[in-house]
Amino acid sequence: MHVTLRQLTVFESVARNLSFTQAAEELFLSQPAVSMQIKQLEQNLEVMLLDRVGKRTYLTESGREVKATCKRITHLLNELETVLDNLKNLKAGKLHLTVASTANYFLPAILAVFKQRLPQISIALNVTNRKNLLEALDDNDVDLVIMGQPPEDRDLEAGVFALNPLVIVANSDHELAAQSRVPLQRLKDEIFLVREQGSGTRIAMERFFHEQGIRMKTGMVADSNEAIKQSVAAGLGLGLLSHDTLAMELQLNYLTILDVIDMPIIRKWHIVHRAGKRLSRSAAVFKDFLLDEGETILGGPDRFASQT
């Protein structure tokens, strides 16, 4: 079956008016053009749709079925037009975000501001590890990804929206907690609790210590920031974590940030998508919002100073 929307539009007008002449006037077509469209539709459907007796036009049983279908199609097209108009004017929309687990510590504050301004946009949020972030980007099945350092071997477009300092933490009773300007070499005898292989934080940590010529002693591998924090608080070793994950522990004095020379490691938060990806209106607006206001909403680049 090869039926065109044009044929159905012409038939709907004829069926509603029961007149080729009125349909031609309504559609700004010639009467022969209307007749040709109806003839082609009947040939495509292999049924008679209209019965012309004298000067009058009647619908056949098949014609009545096609007329009802045309009405449903017209309704759906009108709904589609409304939806697209709403999307263009941002009266509605969906946003699918996949974010690194560390980013989830600060992202709710950003989403709260965004939703206050555009409450009509629904947001689907997936919090996962770096491996799954990269898979989501490879599969192109997510609008935007929020992560630390994007890989250089993929065709991605990334924008920086905030700083992401990595700091060394200990429990508050650790012997280094009260010391100032601790040399990096002093840490070579300490046990470090680290994230799993492939974690962005671990990659940055291993690169930094390698560049400094320091071989870390690894005591435990954990797949979450919470596990690292709880283990550090229990005295099992030191941890290197994003400053954005530590607000509660610093306030309650469960953990302390060590004053280590050449620390923190300054990384950046990025909003990422496949290069050349055509973003939805909702995704494009959120990306611009995050790049323009993300750091400010989080408290500005000096937000860490009072907590270190």
Which H helix or E strand runs over 162?
A: strand 156-171
Cα 49 to Cα 60: distance, rounded to the nearest angstrom = 5
Distances (CA, A) of 78 to 10, 28, 84: 17, 21, 10
Please state, in angstroms and as integers, the Cα–Cα distance from residue 111 to each residue in 51, 76, 122, 123, following that order.
Answer: 61, 33, 11, 9
Task: Return d(Cα 47, Cα 56) in angstroms, integer.
Answer: 19
| Radius of gyration over every alpha carbon of the chain, rounded to an integer in angstroms | 31
With cut-offs at 50, 70 and 90, classify the pLDDT of residue 89: confident
Q: Summarize pLDDT for 262-295 with one digit per residue, the tens.
A: 889 989 999 999 998 888 889 999 999 999 999 9
More confident residue, 48 or 302: 48
222, 193 Cβ separation under 8 angstroms = yes
* 177 phi and psi angles, rounded to 5 deg: -60, -35
State which amino acid sits at residue 19.
Answer: S
Short-list 223, 214, 246, 219, CA closest to 235:
219
Does the bond joining 264 to the residue before it have cis omega, within 30 degrees of 0? yes
Q: What does the pLDDT average to over 141-154?
A: 90
Mean pLDDT of 122-150: 90
- What is the C-alpha separation between 41 and 37, in angstroms, rounded? 6
Sketch out the chain's domains with CATH numbers: 5-88 (1.10.10.10), 93-161+268-307 (3.40.190.10), 164-267 (3.40.190.10)
Q: What does the pLDDT read at residue 147?
A: 93
Do the bridges between strand 156-171 and strand 255-257 make them parallel or antiparallel, or are there none, so unpaired? Answer: antiparallel
User: Predicted confidence band at 237 (pLDDT cuts at 50, 70, 90)?
Assistant: very high
Nearest to 245 by CA among 264, 263, 218, 224: 224
pLDDT at residue 303, rounded to an integer: 67
For residue 308, pLDDT over 70 is answered with no
Does the pLDDT of residue 307 top 50, yes or no?
A: no
- Give the separation between CA 37 and CA 33, rounded to whole angstroms: 6
Asked whether residue 297 carries a pLDDT value surpassing 80, the answer given is: yes
Over 70: is that where the pLDDT of 306 sits? no
Q: How confident is the model at residue 305 (pLDDT cuts 50, 70, 90)?
A: low
Burial of 5 (0-12, 13-18, 19+ CB in 10 A): exposed
Q: What percent of the chain has pLDDT over 90?
A: 61
Angle made by CA atoms 112, 118, 123, in degrees to the nearest 5: 65
Residue 140 tokens read as 């192109």
Three-class secondary structure of residue 268 per DSSP? strand
As a whole number, the mean pLDDT across the chain is: 90
Tens digit of pLDDT for each residue in 189-226?
A: 899 999 888 888 888 888 998 998 888 888 889 888 99
AA letter at 286: F
Q: Which residues contact 126 (CB under 8 A, 6 or more apart)?
A: 96, 97, 98, 99, 136, 142
Is residue 275 within 8 A of residue 157, CB to CB? The reply is yes
CA dist 58 and 60 (Å) reads 6
Q: Mean per-residue pLDDT for 111-122?
A: 94
- In the predicted structure, residue 103 carries a pLDDT above the cut 50: yes
Three-class SS state of 251: helix
> Which candidate, 74, 8, 71, 18, places its Cα nearest to that of 41?
8
Backbone angles phi, psi at 246, to 5 degrees: -110, 0
Q: Which residues pair with 192 in a beta bridge?
A: 218, 238
